[in-house]
Every structure is written in C-alpha cells, then in structure tokens.
Amino acid sequence: MTPAAISAGDLRERVGFYSRVSLDDGYGNTQAGYDSIPEFILSANIKPRLGGEQVLAARLTGTNFDNITVRYSSLSAQVDTDWVCKNERTGVVYNIRSIINPDQKKQFIELLCEKGVAVGFMATDGGLDFGYHDQSALIALFEDI
C-alpha cells in the first residue's frame, strides 16, 4: 500500500512512541532505557514486511520487520532511530531501524521497525525491564549463565 493510497480508515492501530532516557539507579550510576509512558500516541498502519532468524544465546530466535506508517506532524517529525514504538492495543514493542518520507511531500512518515528483539523499558522501581517478546529467548539467555 503506497502512502498515496492510505486513507484515515487505514490508520487503525494506536502506536505509542518512546524516547530514550537516562535515570539514576540509586547507586550513583545511570541506566539508559525507555520510560514506561509514551511521549505521544499516533494512529498508524502496521504492515508486515520481512522475517528472519538470528542466534541468541546459542539458540535460533525469530525476528520480524514491519512497516509502520503515520501521518506527518510536528510530533512524528521528532521520532528518531534511537526511539522505540509500541502498539498500544497489542503491546508489541518495536525497535525503529529507519525512517523515511516516502512521497517527499510530508504527508506520511514510514518507519521500518523490528520486533522480536530486546528493548529496555524503565520499570516502576527505576530498574530496567527488558521487554522480550519471545519468552523462550529470555529463558535461553539465563540458562547459559
């Protein structure tokens, strides 16, 4: 679906955008991660693109890429590749890999996003909560320790 073919009815998902933050861990160190509250939430179209596999802790894990399209605005123009986004309806978290303005008319922004990888969110106690989507990958990571 090209951006010109997208209408308001196609923007069915609500996607929250989270910027990278650094917080004190209480021991004099800082931890980088993402706040649990989004900077803003926008309507979006999410379309699956590519899939692949990678080795994590000597086990094969799957990763998927999706194209997320949002309307261009002063909010969406702030998004950068060090941010993450989350489908607020399903809870799926995405790493943003690239951002393009496909029609060069500032009507839409298209984000190539990867899901199925670890993303560090700030937990309510200030510690990092790694949002693994595939719990078997997290278990495999700690089995080898």
When mean pLDDT is compared across 42-51, 106-115, 135-144, the lowest value belongs to 135-144
Q: State the pTM of this model.
A: 0.73
Q: What is the reported pLDDT for 60?
A: 67
Q: For the chain, give percent helix, strand, coil, nearest 5.
A: 10, 50, 40
pLDDT for 5 beyond 80: no
Question: Distance between CA atoms of 135 and 76, rounded to whole angstroms?
Answer: 31
pLDDT for 105 beyond 60: yes
Q: CB neighbours of 142 closer than 8 A, spacing ≥ 6? A: none
* DSSP state at residue 53: E
Average pLDDT, the chain: 79
Q: What is the reported pLDDT for 133?
A: 43
CA 15 to chain centroid: 9
Amino acid at 74: S
Q: What is the reported pLDDT for 115?
A: 86
- Can you give the residue ranges of every domain in the chain? 9-143
- CATH number (1.10.8.10, 3.90.420.10, 2.40.10.270, 1.20.1290.10) of 9-143 reads 2.40.10.270
pLDDT for 102 beyond 60: yes
pLDDT in tens, 23-42: 777 888 888 888 888 999 99
Q: Biggest alpha carbon distance in the chain?
A: 52
Amino acid at 67: N
Residue 54 three-state SS: strand
pLDDT in tens, 109-132: 999 999 877 666 544 444 445 444
pLDDT in tens, 55-86: 656 666 777 899 999 999 999 999 999 999 99
Question: Distance between CA atoms of 27 and 38, rounded to whole angstroms?
Answer: 26
DSSP one-letter string for 60-124 = EEEEEEEEEEEE--TTGGG--TT-EEEETTT--EEEEEEEE-TTSSSSEEEEEEEESS--EEEPT
